[in-house]
A and B are shown apart, each in its own frame.
Chain A
């Protein structure tokens, strides 16, 4: 294993932008002035922003160095649970960069925008097919934005029936965006406990569901990487009290072609194109969070909707019950093109194969590491598995220490301390694009770290040692915030 530990690379320091440059430089080719100057009123004129003046070379070196301090999927395995850090195909980037797509103005007459509109219309259809839902909007910008959009359709549905409700059920395994979204919709979150198997039991839902409750926000597969076996029965309970079932589809990567949420009682769900459909995460976005609904929620979807008539695509605002708009224009179209390219490149068989291999990889890691790390729920998992630092307690080594030490072995750490129901959680999601060899190296690294925890725990306490910086003082960063330079 030792030959896989990180070596010392040539990591060069780089000053902050404004510590560089000289007044009068410019890294931009100013367009020719072919009109006279029209000075503006002194009252209106400002001094201009205090930006540094840099040459093109200054700028290129600066960002090239910065990029070298980053770890991405292209650098190595990135098993960040719940985030589906699969390989982002390069052809997708190429397609999204075509000038007809990048140069498109969002408000031109539909006749001048047929290419993008067709792509969007077809993508909606593909997502409806994959989820088993009836209608789709691509407008939301990310997962949490999809949650908001989806929950607003639920809110509109209840309002439309003349009986708004005040509460929403949210499992204790839910991602933080779920309760935060519920609050934005003015619903009070009622926490439902998962059972000893890590999933929701029908009883715990039946106990709290009532006619004041708008529905449930369910994540399936859930954030423990487990399929919610009782979804159908839970949906029946919710529906029988007039509620609706929201599904957080962030984890769809486990079940493409295997389970269709629309067939098991889900009324509305969002997807993360920047997870399941391979679009890169960009250091924190942009993403895309389409929302898929069943027929009864379709009238509430955001406008404009894309409509097709005899092969001609247009945008329509004519949906009087719509919740309105959730972004100024049509969503993150540049991201949609990448997801569209991915679906077209994979086709139905390989999409299903992707899910099967994602689940195989996760189960393989689960079985291989369960002697080394405490496995929170010892049962077959979906696309990810959740361990904890329980076995390392006596070594006085924590989840954080092991995560940081993994960096020295050349891996991005898993998600840590989430979900909250597992104390010291280590959530591993390998995705299908990792090969057996790379996964074996990851397993070996974790085993080696567990040995180090016993024999030389300070290696872990002091980790990472091979990165650009050592552990950072997050406490003083928050106590005395310095957010600008």
Chain B
């Protein structure tokens, strides 16, 4: 086997050195009744070339663009990824290193993550950002737990227009804690309904997503005021990080904690993972943050360098009193996002975000012209909900056969929204694609 460098002579010499006769003797201290008696029942080894054809066949059994026209986002977005980003991300000095516990031999990862934290904080308008979390959903769950820690209150409220799967993850994380999770309904215009807040007290935090699951851009400033009046922390969440190239960032709208999914920033969809959990906060809450942080410092000669820092919050020092159990995060995905943000740049991201917005708006207008109802009239980014006529599900299936995915049917997540579909358009969709989509759904 090409990954195992030992010759039989090596093995003999090494066995001699450890005073064993046979490789099996190395396990002789394990009680006999713990040893497995049978060989592993696994498929026999493939050669590299056999593996190539096996994997190619699996990969070919997947529906992907450009072969398929996929008008579906819902937390997983198609954006162009420059070849330079993928190429740099493949540098094995980045790929094959561990968490940078030994800073002198890890300055590459450390500076890159420090730069990522900075760009992430600037994108979200916050003072500090963590090195990464698993995904947007776990970042939200950890943000809510952080708010409970800071406020010492036992209740949180989340908008029902936060991604349904994110809310499920929050429920899973909160189940053993005894803290209460309350869901806030939504209004006819596609915004979160905060009226119920008045009756709630002992609230640690309220979390709202913007652009929300329906694509609608919430009025964060007003929402924040209401939440702060309740003396609760204001958490904002997102699934489409690119939107802040165009929209006001949540920090400028007085969010206390901002969390969400960074997959749009140069990370392929990969069936939903690995992605990038982003989490940012205020300096005053820095020591309550979950997860790793990289900080700037100096070496013995006064030269600039970077280290993992504020480790006294973390599991390897604090053990059962840690702010989180997270250890390995999604570092390489944060690196992808940093390289992507650096490549697109400040000027580029505005143009790119505007283009995303405009393309989605084009499809929305064309569908309106074709006589379909846009379910919520509020302004949107990249995604919007459309109501198709009753019985559209059979058209949906026909379109699948024509390699068109007509968005996400919403009834499974919002039972009242039968025949409503969440559509998504990014910069990768051409006018032609959209025009033929409209004529297909019309017919």
From known contacts A344-B54, A434-B5, A485-B296, infer whether A54 and B342 are also in contact, taking CB-CB under 8 Å.
Answer: yes
Contacts of B42 in A (CB 8 A): 126, 129-130, 343, 347-348, 351
* A-B contacts besides A78-B96, A186-B178, A354-B3, 5 pairs, CB < 8 Å: A27-B345, A56-B82, A70-B105, A74-B93, A345-B45
* Interface-centre pick from A143, A332, A469, A483 (highest chain B CB count, 10 A): A483
Binary A-proximity of B79-107 (CB < 8 A = 1, otherwise 0): 01010100110111111111111111111
Min Cβ gap B302→A in Å is: 9
Contacts of A257 in B (CB 8 A): 36, 39-40
Given A63-B339, A141-B274, check contact A95 B358 (CB 8 Å): no
Chain B residues with CB under 8 Å of A394's CB are none
B362→A38 contact, CB < 8 A: yes
Q: Is the CB of A177 within 8 A of B14?
A: no
State which residues 266-298 of B face A: CB under 8 Å: 268-275, 286, 292-298
Tell whether, in the assembled complex, residue B269 and residue A102 are in contact, meaning their CB atoms are under 8 Å apart.
yes
Collect the chain A residues with CB atoms within 8 Å of residue B72's CB: 105, 107-108
- Which residue of B48, B58, B351, B428 has the most chain A CB atoms within 10 A of its CB atom? B58
Tell me whether A344 and B43 are in contact (CB under 8 A).
yes
Which of the residues A53, A108, A142, A281 comes within 8 Å of B70, measured between beta carbons? A108
Q: Which B residues are in CB contact (< 8 Å) with A59?
A: 84, 88, 339, 342-343
- Does B329 sit at the interface, judged by CB under 8 A? yes
State how many residues of chain A have any CB contact under 8 Å with chain B. 199
Q: Is A482 part of the binding interface, using a Cβ–Cβ cutoff of 8 Å? A: yes
A231 to B173, CA, bound (A): 30
Tell which of A238-246, A362-370, A450-458 binds the partner. Answer: A362-370
| A232 x B33 contact (CB < 8 A) | yes
Would you call B249 and A49 a contact (CB within 8 A)?
yes
Docked-complex contact A324 and B249, CB < 8 angstroms: no
Q: Look across to chain A and name the residue whose beta carbon is closest to the beta carbon of B296.
A: A482
Q: Is the CB of B59 within 8 A of A31?
A: no
- The reply to whether A100 and B64 form a contact with Cβ atoms under 8 Å apart is yes
Any chain B CB within 8 A of the CB of A204? no
Q: Interface stretch among B116-124, B153-161, B193-201, B384-392?
A: B116-124
Asked if residues B45 and A350 are in contact (CB atoms below 8 Å), the reply is: yes
- Expressed in whole angstroms, the Cα–Cα distance for A283 and B14 within the complex equals 32
Asked if residues A184 and B299 are in contact (CB atoms below 8 Å), the reply is no
B150 within 8 A of A: no
Chain A's nearest CB lies how many Å from the CB of B337?
A: 12
Give A51 to B345 CA distance when docked, in angstroms. 5
> A133 at interface (Cβ–Cβ under 8 A)?
no
Tell me the minimal C-beta distance from A342 to chain B in angstroms.
9
Least CB distance, B359 to chain A, in whole angstroms: 6
Q: List 24 A-B contacts (CB under 8 A).
A: A14-B111, A16-B114, A23-B346, A28-B345, A49-B244, A54-B342, A67-B91, A74-B96, A80-B98, A99-B64, A184-B324, A189-B319, A232-B31, A281-B96, A282-B330, A285-B333, A343-B42, A346-B1, A348-B42, A356-B24, A359-B27, A469-B103, A470-B303, A477-B296
